[in-house]
Amino acid sequence: MRILFHVDMNSFFASVELSFRPELKGKPVAVAGSVEDRRGIIVTSTYEARARGVKTAMPVWQAKKACPELILLKSNFERYRTASRNMFEILRSYTSLVEPVSIDEGYMDVTQYHEQIHPYKLAQQIQETLIRDMNLPCSIGIAPNKFLAKMASDMKKPNGITILRKRELPELLWPLPISEMQGIGKKTVGKWEKAEILTIGDLANADPHFITEKFGSIAHKLQKRAQGIDDRPVNPDSVHEFKSIGNSTTLPRDTKNEQKIETILKQLADSVSYRLNKKEVVAYGIQLTIKYHDWKITNKSEKLSNACHTSNDIYQRARTLFKKSWNTEPIRLLGISTYDLVDKRHAYKQLNLFSQEKDVKDYHIDQTMLTIQERFGQHALVKGAKGYEARRKWIEQRSLRGTSLEKPEDQKPNR
């Protein structure tokens, strides 16, 4: 039987900051995109701050209202990335089978130790090493597969160690609400509950035909995991699978027509945004690729201070790069790629009073586009310049007034 660990760093960004400022340990501390009132949001906070009502993504002014004694620190992403690299190097000193899944969490396959040391003792050693060498706390879940290890690491925080065996599922896992199951998105919890799947146990014991009819093929995989079945291996190379996310297209014919070029950039931005959302990551870098009629290639990239993931944001940035780099020669190929990808949970965007309304609008439009692409296919919204603009306008109108996509008359945009 496999023995897998899920190592989850506790309040990672805040803990890294406290490792540099140990005098703040035990105090309510939060990391924010901007520490100025009304110009930033809380990225993460210590458990002392959380106990006083401070939450991730809460505006700074609201967090300070909830906890007047809150100590705010400005985020330092380079510092967190360095800490993450060092943390994973420590994990790899125990086994080469380490799979990072975000900046502050990963899986370890420690089956090789099963005759040498009890898994709980090994987890304690790892915790002690991370504290001693980096002054960073973590929680560790121990289980025979990835899903159960992940669920176990969430059960005792901070600095907990939890063993979750298959025979313990009815007692420890199944009573948990469906909202706590890994793989169930917040937006779909209501649908599961409406179908009377209220707990993980309800999902594990549900009629497979019923849940497949209600939720599609994903339901079968989720049910298997709820039953404790998950054969995914720990893959050390998976971190390389999406170091960047992008898309490119070769034009039907070489062109200098700027209207056509802009339409293609919009289509590419839609595709890249869709894939970023599917992976639940955001990008701190964007690159535009132009291949000309004579096969010469130009790449222009930009590092971003604020993460991007919406279609409109990606398009606007790509369009700016295009205007800086195009030499007016006919174009054969265009490509947009994003890099420096970060889990959405750890991304932040400084809230600006003049752009916040637009940011919210773009977010709702992109979420609606993602819903349509999930239902009708990724390319449902990317054919034709006039069609693209008409569909986006249609989406904007319905997104902003909250029209449900479930209504028959709204299932298909005008074509």
The H or E element spanning position 264 is helix 258-279
48, 99, 105, 389: which one is catalytic?
105
CA distance 68 to 72: 11
Is 144 within 8 Å of 160 (Cβ atoms)? no
DSSP calls for 344-370: GGG------TTTHHHHHHHHHHHHHHH
What is the DSSP secondary structure assignment for residue 172, as one 8-state letter?
I
Cα 354 to Cα 312, 351, 357, 358, 359, distances in angstroms: 17, 9, 7, 8, 10
306 touches 288 (CB < 8 A): no
| H-helix segments, 285-384 | 311-325, 356-376
Q: What are the Cα distances from residue 389, in Å, to 12, 375, 386?
A: 42, 20, 5
357 noted as active-site residue: no
The CA distance from 46 to 157, in Å, is: 12
Question: Residue 104, annotated ligand binder?
Answer: yes
DSSP assignment of 94-151 equals T-S-EEEEETTEEEEE-GGGTTTS-HHHHHHHHHHHHHHHH---EEEEEESSHHHHHH
Q: Which two tokens stand for residue 111?
A: 């089956």
Question: Which residues make up each annotated binding site for Mg(2+)?
Answer: 8, 104
Active-site positions read 105
